Amino acid sequence: MTAVKATPTTPPPRLPVRDKVAAGDRGWGGVSPMLTRLAAEEATGVLVRERGSLHLVGGRVVHAESPSAPGLDLLLTARGTLRTEAWQAAAEATDERHATTRLLLDGGLLSPGALELCHLGALYDAAYFVLAPSSTPGRFRYGVTHPIGGVRPVPVAALERETLRRRDLLHRVWPDAATDGAPLVRAEAVAPPAITARQAAVLDRVDGVRTAPDIARLLGRRAYPTLLDVRRLVSAGLVSPRPPAPAAAPLPDVTDPTAVDPDITLLKRLRDALEAL
């Protein structure tokens, strides 16, 4: 019988722990671990999160969309870069072999440089919202592609770095994120500072109902720069989130003997008078 000498096993390395205090100081709480894993396995499909979705091909992000960010179609057509009819025709002609972006390029409707610049701007814009801290888990559907198609794939690491940089910048300008999604109202500043033409255009659209993403769509601009403009206007004392409506007074409890309806009291008195006849 041969004796086998046992050797102590090497303990596994400790998992990284997120520094919540440091994250809070920086104004962000991390990105999606699932996205990092999908990049490592070079997955193709769509990652659906609470505020939008990311489309991956070979572990790289080729398209992003979020209800909080204007889409590529709006960014291309709002400023006259592309006619709305041309986009609609390309979108309707899209099939399994030809994405919308490819049809626009092949048809000479857009130059490669203009399309790439606008597509990357829309991708980073939507990804900022998609990668926001979420209260629900994401899910990934393998093999799903998007009809718009990718122009230049973006590495996940680059997308994460840019998302965190944008969170930090917003936090430095104004640390309260309530201005990003709340209806906005004008505030009367005592000594209003000078503002840029971009900020003036945003301020002109503040009406007590529109949010920053609403204003971005109205102006045909990307959402993230509009968030920056809004936070700078808030910091300057020119804009504030609309205060919540006052709570409605509670209805009287009919089972509460102290809550007496005067009409009911009158009817009871009439009934008692009739019974006494």
118 φ/ψ angles, rounded to the nearest 5 degrees: -70, -40
Q: Are residues 222 and 99 in the same domain?
A: no
pLDDT at 80: 82
Tell me the β-bridge partners of 142.
Answer: 45
- What is the per-residue pLDDT for 272? 76
Distance, CA of 263 to CA of 39 (rounded, Å): 70
Measuring CA to CA, which residue among 124, 215, 231, 214 is closest to residue 169? 231
Phi and psi at residue 110, to the nearest 5°: -140, 145
**Strand pairing category for 154-155 and 60-65:** antiparallel
Domain that holds residue 200: 177-241
**What amino acid occupies position 270?**
L
Residue 247 — pLDDT band, cuts 50, 70, 90? low
- Does the pLDDT of residue 227 top 70, yes or no? yes
56 and 87 part of one domain = yes
Kindly report, residue by residue over 15-74, the tens digit of the pLDDT. Answer: 344 444 444 444 444 589 999 999 999 999 999 999 999 999 999 999 999 999 999 999
CA distance 252 to 38: 56
Whether the per-residue pLDDT at 198 is higher than 50: the answer is yes
Q: What is the pLDDT of residue 261?
A: 64
264 inside domain: no
Half-sphere exposure of 18 (CA within 13 A, CB side): 11
Q: Which residue has the higher pLDDT, 249 or 151?
A: 151
Q: Is the pLDDT of residue 213 over 50?
A: yes
19 within some domain? no
Residue 211 pLDDT > 80: yes
Stretch 137-160: mean pLDDT, rounded? 93
- What is the C-alpha to C-alpha distance for residues 144 and 96, in angstroms, rounded to an integer? 12
**Two structure tokens written together for 104:** 């626009």
Crossing angle (nearest 10°) for helices 197-204 and 223-235: 90
Partners of 53 in the β-ladder: 48, 65
Of 177 and 20, more confident: 177
Q: Where are the beta strands (DSSP E) in the chain?
A: 45-49, 52-57, 60-65, 139-142, 154-155, 184-186, 239-241
Least Cα distance to 242 among 182, 158, 180 occurs for 182
Reference 237, options 202, 168, 187; nearest CA is 187
Q: Which of 154, 172, 190 is the last residue of a domain?
A: 172
Asked if residue 79 has pLDDT above 90, the reply is no
Residue 8 lies in a domain: no
pLDDT score recorded for residue 135: 87
Q: What pLDDT is recorded for position 216?
A: 97
Q: 38-52, 120-134, 187-201, 207-221: lowest mean pLDDT where?
A: 187-201
Q: Which residue has the higher pLDDT, 263 or 123?
A: 123
Last-in-domain residue among 122, 152, 172: 172
Classify residue 77: in a domain, yes or no. Answer: yes
Kindly report, residue by residue over 128-147, the tens digit of the pLDDT: 999 999 889 999 999 999 99
20 vs 189: which has the higher pLDDT: 189
Burial tier of 113 (Cβ tally within 10 Å: 0-12, 13-18, 19+): exposed
16 within a domain of the structure (yes/no): no
Please say if the pLDDT value at position 258 is more than 80: no
What's the chain's average pLDDT?
Answer: 85
31 and 144 share one domain: yes
- Do 71 and 32 lie in a common domain? yes
How many structural domains does the chain have? 2
Tokens of 55: 């489309």
Mean pLDDT of the region 96-119: 88
CA distance 42 to 138: 18
Point out the domain boundary residue: 146, 172, 198. Answer: 172
> What SS3 class is residue 266?
helix
Query: CA-CA distances (angstroms) from residue 255 to 251, 252, 268?
Result: 12, 9, 17
Structure tokens at 43: 């997955």
150, 187: one domain: no
- CA atoms lying within 13 Å on the CB side of residue 215: 29
Q: Are residues 167 and 193 in the same domain?
A: no
pLDDT at position 266 is: 72
pLDDT at 190: 77
**pLDDT greater than 90 at residue 274:** no
Do 145 and 31 share a structural domain?
yes
